[in-house]
Amino acid sequence: MPTSSPRSKSIAVCIDTRDGGARHRLHGIAQYLSRLGWRMMLVRQSGEAAAMDVVRLAPDGIIAYVADRWLVKAAAKLSIPLVDTAVGEVPVPLTVSLDNDALSHLALAHFKQIGLKHFGYCGVAGRVTSEQREVSFAACLEDRVLPAFSEPISEGESGLEPLMNWLKELPKPIGLLVFDDKLGERVLTACRCADILVPHQVAVIGIGNDELMCEVSHPTLSSFSLPSARFGLEAAKMLTQAMTGKKIKTPHLKIQPTGIITRGSTDMVAVDDELIKAAIQFIRTQAGKAIGVKQIAQALNVSRRTLDRRFAAALNRTIGDELKRVRIQLAQARLSDDSQSVSEVARSCGYSTASAFSRAFHQNTGCWPSEYRRELRS
């Protein structure tokens, strides 16, 4: 980072780096501030101690994840702007946070794609963000009632009985959107203790794609991937505008998730037709190969017409749509690995050329593979 000059600014960054998403936010902030040659001062305290540290440092601005009342008071005392990279319990004039409406629509679409007709939400009691996600998910269901449960405990295995009882009473099979990956792992533990089959009775999606938490869960946890570094970068950009007196067009900026990383907790299809179950299983195991609908029908020993008709009746989409959907999901996961070129990702997802892959990816996601990868990095 460039050496601070008399005209450079100092920014207090109040982020707990023990959290994976927080570390990515920190990286985005550092990227932006280094371009300006501004000094970043990392505050490792929390609560009132953090606020006292900020006042002592006397920075020109503050970026937080998640701001509390002490930090808001510190910003007011110093008469400096504060940007929060999430929505916390205390109102902050400038925020960069997850677009819960976009997330809810994607979650509902994913659950419907695997044939589910019942949906629920599990959140954390007393958390504003959790309440907002519940409201957003309920709005997607229009006139249907959303079964919801708020946990006072967000992680661990203690006090599972209320959660287990709620899970037992739910209509099944059901898709559950869960506040974050820590709570997602707790929900999976409660299902296991209550002898509830995951994903066949309860399918679970977390939020944040904390890879360690998702992979140590049993079964592994499907989760929304987020461009966490972008939260930090956009917050730094917004803070810069506030510090220089520029008008901020969107003081509460919403960032969309980058997709769902599918793992064991949603690896199912809720239909009775055994042919359709076999077709989907075949697609999931063979999607990376150069196969088409003809090869799928031949492998299942049925006509293409029969397969298309029964697939459409069961899931209201064609077998070709399903093959494309699985390939795009596979591509999204592999694009997060910088060691593979776009051409290599294309071949590993069953596309003969990078151009064909790029067109299909753009058609299904609204962005090109290179743009999607750049969004993940930013």
Q: Where are the domains of the chain?
A: 10-96+228-257, 100-225+260-266, 274-377
User: Has residue 44 got a pLDDT over 90?
Assistant: no
- C-alpha dihedral over 30, 83, 76, 4, to 10 degrees? 20
Q: Which amino acid is at 27?
A: H
**What's the pTM?**
0.78
Domain 274-377 fold: Arc Repressor Mutant, subunit A (1.10.10)
Same fold, 10-96+228-257 and 274-377: no
Q: Which long-range contacts (CB under 8 A, 24 or more apart) does 196-199 make?
A: 196/167, 196/168, 196/172, 198/264, 198/265, 199/114, 199/264, 199/265, 199/266, 199/267, 199/268
Instruction: Report which secondary-structure segment, H or E, holds 358.
Output: helix 354-365
What integer pLDDT is reported at residue 6 of this predicted model?
42
Topology (CATH) of 10-96+228-257: Rossmann fold (3.40.50)
**pLDDT tens digits for 138-177?**
999 987 899 999 988 888 888 999 999 999 999 999 999 9
Distance CA 18, CA 212 (A): 13
CB atoms within 10 A of CB 58: 11
Q: By C-alpha distance, which of 68, 65, 112, 75 is closest to 90?
A: 68
Q: What is the mean pLDDT of the chain?
A: 90
Q: Rounded CA gap, 353 and 247, in Å?
A: 46
Q: Does domain 100-225+260-266 have CATH number 3.40.50.2300?
A: yes
Residues 6+ apart with CB under 8 A from 56: none
Separation between Cα atoms, residue 166 and residue 170, nearest integer Å: 7
- The packing angle between helices 319-335 and 369-377, to 10°, is 40
pLDDT digits (tens, 9 = 90+) for 104-148: 999 999 998 888 999 999 999 999 999 999 999 999 998 789 999
